[in-house]
Amino acid sequence: MERLKVVLGARSYPISIGFDIIQEDNIFWPLKPGNLAMLVTNKTLANLLKDRVLFHLRKSGIKIDQIILSDGEQYKTLNEMELILSALLEKQHGRDTTLIALGGGVIGDLAGFAASIYQRGVRFIQIPTTLLSQVDAAVGGKTGVNHLLGKNMIGSFWQPSSVIIDIHFLKSLPYNELISGMAEVIKYAIILDQQFFCWLEDNLKEILLLDHQAMSYCIKKCCALKSQLISLDEREKNLRALLNLGHTYGHAIEVHAGYGNWLHGEAVSVGIVMAARTSELLGYLKKSDFRRILTLLKRIGLPVKGPKNMSAASYIPYMMRDKKVISGEIRLVLPVSIGKAKIYNNVDKNIILSAIKYSQ
């Protein structure tokens, strides 16, 4: 087992990474014997992993209740979050309770948001079970739900007390979900680490076969890169916004297609291509770097073209609702080379539309 730390003063917390670590002593820190907690998971994981996690929680002396939600991005709503809050009230959980999120990004976001507002804030622990949540969603304290008009528009920053990444859980993951998570992995390499991008080009086969050594390195690298950015910019005033590479375009696809019809990583993959093409058209990104990005996404099996029934012009209204928009101007995260990205304001809408048309 390896440990990283997200350094945020009094809100600092550990990230534990390893295989089968759910059975380690004191893995559920800061919970202690006799503490009360609520496990939040979904119907799919209730059949796959829930009982194993409950066994180890009870073995650790933790009093545990549970709530099982519907599975899917279309259920990341205020209605589902209210089910969590109702369960906490019905079971008489006080301010000393801890929510435990067992699932992917949807469960983590729902449980984290509920923890941030239940009795004005209680602890929560992330146990991410998808690659996307292990490398990205579970770390950093972004919580929230979707709205019909925009993704993740209702939420809060609320850091977990700890993150437990058991890589063994990825064995239960459908292959398309594994592929989806790789979009976020590639995102880190493009914006922050050229050597990591080269490593991904060389080790792709091992990662997709869930090779222990390769997957452990990959997840640890992504968590370390994200932890550094969060420690510098917890609430996304500047640097942390780089983590949104591809998301402004990708969220437009998710909302337009209807939540759940495109996996988040699939939409982000297309968004990365659009952002890279925008940068190439502006003269920032070399054609050879654009080709390498496109090739790596294709090798993984990620989509590089958006929905056929979505016109280029229809992206713009969704992009205008993006959380990075300031004073009515779209701000875009664009790669300027492999390993470096910048945030740009006032990008010509005709160039944005041309980049979108390239991926139609």
CATH number of the domain enclosing 50? 3.40.50.1970
Give the three-class secondary structure for 29: coil
Check if 93 is active-site. Answer: no
Check if 236 is active-site. Answer: yes
State whether 255 and 107 are in the same domain. no
Check if 240 is active-site. Answer: yes
Q: What per-residue confidence (pLDDT) applies to 142?
A: 96
Q: Is 308 annotated as a binding residue?
A: no
Other beta carbons within 10 angstroms of residue 352's beta carbon come to 23
State whether 248 and 151 are in the same domain. no
Last residue of a domain, one of 172, 198, 227: 172
State whether 214 and 304 are in the same domain. yes
Q: Is 264 annotated as a binding residue?
A: yes
Last residue of a domain, one of 172, 196, 231: 172
State whether 208 and 275 are in the same domain. yes
Q: Is 107 annotated as a binding residue?
A: yes
Q: Is 130 annotated as a binding residue?
A: yes
State whether 63 and 10 are in the same domain. yes
Supply the range of the domain harboring residue 313: 175-358
Check if 142 is active-site. Answer: yes
Last residue of a domain, one of 133, 149, 172: 172
Task: State CA 46 to chain mean position distance.
Answer: 21
Check if 212 is active-site. Answer: no
Among the listed residues 264, 266, 277, 280, the single catalytic one is 264
Check if 251 is active-site. Answer: yes
Among the listed residues 220, 247, 256, 331, the single catalytic one is 247
Q: Is 72 annotated as a binding residue?
A: yes
Q: What per-residue confidence (pLDDT) applies to 325?
A: 74
Q: For residue 58, give every residue at least 6 positions away whose Cβ sits within 8 Å of its Cβ, in sequence order, or none.
A: 64
Q: Say what angle helices 194-208 and 175-192 make with each other, to 10 degrees.
A: 170
Q: Is 105 annotated as a binding residue?
A: yes
State whether 164 and 69 are in the same domain. yes
State whether 204 and 94 are in the same domain. no
Q: Which residues of 138-165 are buried (b: 16+ CB within 10 A; e: fewer)?
A: bbbbbbbbbeeebbbbebebbbbbbbbb
Q: What per-residue confidence (pLDDT) applies to 324?
A: 74
Q: Is 256 annotated as a binding residue?
A: no
State whether 168 and 189 are in the same domain. no
Q: Is 151 annotated as a binding residue?
A: yes
Mean pLDDT (10-residue bins), the chain, 360 residues: 95 97 95 98 95 96 98 95 98 98 97 98 98 96 93 95 97 95 98 98 96 96 97 92 96 93 97 98 98 98 96 94 77 97 94 95
Among the listed residues 35, 146, 152, 244, the single catalytic one is 244
Among the listed residues 80, 177, 184, 266, the single catalytic one is 184
Asked if 283 and 344 touch (Cβ cutoff 8 Å), the reply is no
State whether 134 and 229 are in the same domain. no
Paired tokens of 358: 């390239």
State whether 195 and 332 are in the same domain. yes
SS (H, E, C) 175-229: HHHHHHHHHHHHHHHHHHCHHHHHHHHHHHHHHHCCCHHHHHHHHHHHHHHHHHH
State whether 28 and 56 are in the same domain. yes
Q: Which residues of 319-348 are buried (b: 16+ CB within 10 A; e: fewer)?
A: bebbbbeeeeebbbbbbbebbebeebeebe
Among the listed residues 50, 93, 226, 277, the single catalytic one is 226
Q: What is the pLDDT of residues 191-227, one digit of tens each?
A: 999 999 999 999 999 999 999 999 999 999 999 999 9
Q: What per-residue confidence (pLDDT) applies to 327?
A: 66
Q: Is 129 annotated as a binding residue?
A: yes
Check if 82 is active-site. Answer: no
Counted domains in the chain: 2
Among the listed residues 187, 251, 277, 331, the single catalytic one is 251
Question: What CATH number does the domain containing 192 carry?
Answer: 1.20.1090.10
State whether 268 and 195 are in the same domain. yes
Check if 287 is active-site. Answer: no
